[in-house]
Amino acid sequence: MSTVTTPGTGAHAVVPEAVRRARAYLLRVVEPPSWEVVRFVEQYGPVEAAELIRRGEVPRGVGEKVHARRGYDHVDADLDAARSVGARLLVPEDADWPTWTFGAFEAADHPDLAPPLALWVRGPGSLAALAERAVAVVGSRAASGYGTHAAVELGSALGAAGVTVVSGAAFGIDAAAHRGALAAGGPTLAVLACGVDRPYPVAHTSLLERIAASALVVSEYPPGAVPARHRFLVRNRLLAAIGSGCVVVEAGARSGSQRTASDAGALGRPVMAVPGPITSAMSVGSHELIRHGAELVGRPDHVLETVGRLGIDLAVEPSRPRRPTDDLTPAALAVHGALPARAAWSVERLTEESGQVADVVRSALTELERRGLAEFHHGLWQRPGPTRRRDA
């Protein structure tokens, strides 16, 4: 197996438990996607943002998103349920959060395309590493024999080339693409529209087990969450974002796959489509995409060429979206995550909150201050205020 695994459990130890619990709470009470909540969490930090939401002390835009569920107290239950299936909560403060990949959400600046606040992940894979060379392969549930064959072949060729096959574990094209990758011993990642502890569809229980055993099953919905209809559309933006490109193998007219392709395009990902017979209703969506600018891919090589070019292009791309926290060490990220926005704490308190030793906290604070991400007043540390941050 060429699956990329996490760089040791040490990467997680640096994120304070309070941060992870706060984000677990947020995933339970906020129905994604929500730029309002993403911005609110950026402003206050996850711990304080979660507390403010719990207390209802939030601006109206955020309040509307969390009113129905803010009283929920499922954090322990969710963490336990995840642990029981070998899953964990991946947060932006983790070293294997795909910060760079999800930078596409900031760059797209689209109201429906907000990044996830955290992700429940199940499996040994590192999301950041798996997303480095990844292609979303999507298509119809009611795939034809032709489409299924094409998806298996494509999944297998991508897998053999070490490219992560990202799909949704649904019937039809999704399953065929995952299976092709698994057959080639390649990495494959499933993004679900329900909890990572739910085998959905049930017929794919063993497929999901195999993906979870080798790479990663991912969801922004909490354990036990059911796959409500609208969640598939919301989930599709994650497929689109995690893939460096998106291939539609078969799609009917006005299909969910076309929506995924549209999200991929909005996120700056190249959209590709596999043609088929013009007599097949299952290829109408693929053909429409090609007519509107998607690249026709007739061989797996075509996909690899496009993804390969991407890799090269991105390496020299100067307009890469930057976050102020990019390139911070895991320890500095942990301290940054612990810093309060509306309070000021001592180094001792930050040592407790961040889980880092005092020397590491002091060194991290110096670096954060240099970047304008922390301020020192009267012997206490805090985040710069909202006004100040906007100027920074």
Q: Return residues touching a second copy (CB under 8 A).
A: 146, 149-150, 274-279, 283-284, 287-288, 290-291, 295-296, 298-299, 302
Shortest reach from residue 314's CB to a second copy, in Å: 22
Q: What residues contact 370, with CB distance under 8 A and at least 6 apart?
A: none
SS (H, E, C) 89-148: EECCCCCCCCHHHHHHHHHHCCCCCCCCCCEEEECCECHHHHHHCEEEEECCCCCCHHHH
Shortest reach from residue 53's CB to a second copy, in Å: 49
Q: Can you tell me the distance from the alpha carbon of 89 to that of 114, in angstroms, rounded to the nearest whole number? A: 19
Shortest reach from residue 296's CB to a second copy, in Å: 5
Nearer to a second copy, 26 or 154 (CB): 154
**What does R_g of the chain's alpha carbons equal in angstroms?**
21
Shortest reach from residue 146's CB to a second copy, in Å: 6
Shortest reach from residue 276's CB to a second copy, in Å: 6
Measured in degrees and rounded to the nearest 5, phi and psi for residue 142 equal -90, 50
Nearer to a second copy, 54 or 149 (CB): 149
Shortest reach from residue 248's CB to a second copy, in Å: 13
Nearer to a second copy, 279 or 387 (CB): 279
Q: Can you tell me the distance from the alpha carbon of 258 to that of 273, in angstroms, rounded to the nearest whole number? A: 10
Report how far apart, in Å, the C-alpha atoms of 102 and of each of 98, 239, 254, 324 are: 6, 11, 27, 14
Nearer to a second copy, 208 or 284 (CB): 284
Nearer to a second copy, 295 or 367 (CB): 295
Shortest reach from residue 188's CB to a second copy, in Å: 21
Nearer to a second copy, 299 or 388 (CB): 299
Nearer to a second copy, 89 or 284 (CB): 284
Shortest reach from residue 299's CB to a second copy, in Å: 7
CB-CB contact of 352 with 361 (8 Å): no
Tell me the one-letter amino acid at 286: S
Q: Can you tell me the distance from the alpha carbon of 238 to that of 240, in angstroms, rounded to the nearest whole number? A: 5
Closest CA to 14 of 361, 380, 392, 369: 361
The region, left, alpha or beta by phi > 0 then psi within -120 to 50, assigned to residue 366 is: alpha
Nearer to a second copy, 15 or 150 (CB): 150
Shortest reach from residue 249's CB to a second copy, in Å: 10
The pair of structure tokens assigned to 2 is: 């060429």
Nearer to a second copy, 202 or 278 (CB): 278
Shortest reach from residue 259's CB to a second copy, in Å: 20
Q: Can you tell me the distance from the alpha carbon of 252 to that of 76, in angstroms, rounded to the nearest whole number? A: 42
| Bond from prior residue into 270 cis (ω within 30 degrees of 0) | no
Nearer to a second copy, 144 or 164 (CB): 144
